[in-house]
Amino acid sequence: MLLHIPQVLTAAEVAQFRRALDTAEWTDGRETVGPQGAQVKRNLQLPDTSPLKKDLGQAVLNALSRSPLYFAAALPLRTIPPRFNRYEGGGHYGFHVDGAVMMVGDTTLRTDLSCTLFLCEPDDYDGGELIISDTYGEHEVKLPAGDLILYPSSSLHRVAAVTRGARIASFFWVQSLVRDAGKRQLLFELDASIQALTGAGADRDAVLRLSNVYHNLLRDWSET
């Protein structure tokens, strides 16, 4: 599933993030990847030990908790604390695949979904498209500030070189309650149908029965 989730952050929140990040101290992004990734990665990141990273990361998680669309699509169980990166002056990240398993403290997390939350307007910089490759070809993503793209962590993807301005974003990974992507897609479509029928004033008993099907499938398919 490749899903655009608009307005995760408000304009005021984006402005607050940018004021903090524009004066932050950044480090070489290659410090957080293995030898293979380091060969194709040219960007800057907030250090994992940065108090600003922790504070802004928590703000991202708080914002996500307000988004029913994000929850319906991701069905998040565990989330890697959000990180922040910056691309400028030709910075790029060649095609790569995200690690299948990551550590959160003493706990391992399976990366089912990858997320990029854009913190700059598209006109602020040239290049910097997130390019995701799947069986349908390559998809270029460059969203308004405050919007998020959610996509399978199994996808090959890259960030095109930024040739003007700076591209600043938050990125993180999610382990879903439902491991199987096909089942997760079905649940998302079922949930969207229930919401649409409810909004259209459909028969209450019919919507209730459909909701029962959704929750029983989620109960059967979820992993905790």
Q: What is the pLDDT of residues 37-46, one digit of tens each?
A: 778 999 999 9
| Alpha-helical runs (H) found in 1-67 | 11-21, 35-38, 51-64
- Give the pLDDT mean for 150-154: 96
Residue 133 near residue 155, CB atoms below 8 Å? yes
C-alpha separations of 66 from 8, 57, 71, 80, 172 in Å: 8, 15, 9, 18, 17
For residues 133 and 8, give the distance between their C-alpha atoms in angstroms, rounded to a whole number. Answer: 24
pLDDT grade, residue 50 (50/70/90)? very high
All structural domains of the chain: 3-176 (2.60.120.620), 181-221 (4.10.860.20)
Residue range 163-177, pLDDT digits in tens: 999 999 999 999 999
The residue type at 88 = E
The residue type at 74 = A
For residues 142 and 131, give the distance between their C-alpha atoms in angstroms, rounded to a whole number. Answer: 9
Please give the residue that has the higher pLDDT: either 29 or 13: 13
Strand partners, 167: 87
Residue range 90-138, pLDDT digits in tens: 999 999 999 999 988 888 999 999 999 999 999 999 999 999 998 889 9
What spatial distance separates the first Cα and last Cα of the chain, rounded to whole Å? 22
